Amino acid sequence: VAGTPKQIADQLQDWFEVGAADGFNLMFPLLPEDWINFAEQVVPELQRRGVFPTEYAAGTLRDRFGLARPANRFAEQRANQRAVS
């Protein structure tokens, strides 16, 4: 997709709204310049339209799925080493 920020936002929004996409993988030829341009020009346009979040909920993916944090195996190893010493 190429064009003005508005044209790019139009195309992404159209694909999203007709169900042709539920997300996008973006690849740019010039890094980091193209990422910066996209973030500063296209993202705000998508946010104004209400199709791109302006805020994110706090927490990790593990928190969001309600998963328990696994035990720290390194802490367990240290505790076992101290018990043996």
Run means of pLDDT, 10 residues per run, the chain, 85 residues: 96 95 90 95 98 91 91 83 74
40: Cα separation from own chain's centroid: 16
Q: Report the SS3 class of residue 42.
A: helix
- Token pair listed for 19: 């169900």
Give the angle subtended at the CA of 14 by the CAs of 10 and 19, to the nearest 5°.
Answer: 155
Q: What is the pLDDT of residue 55?
A: 93
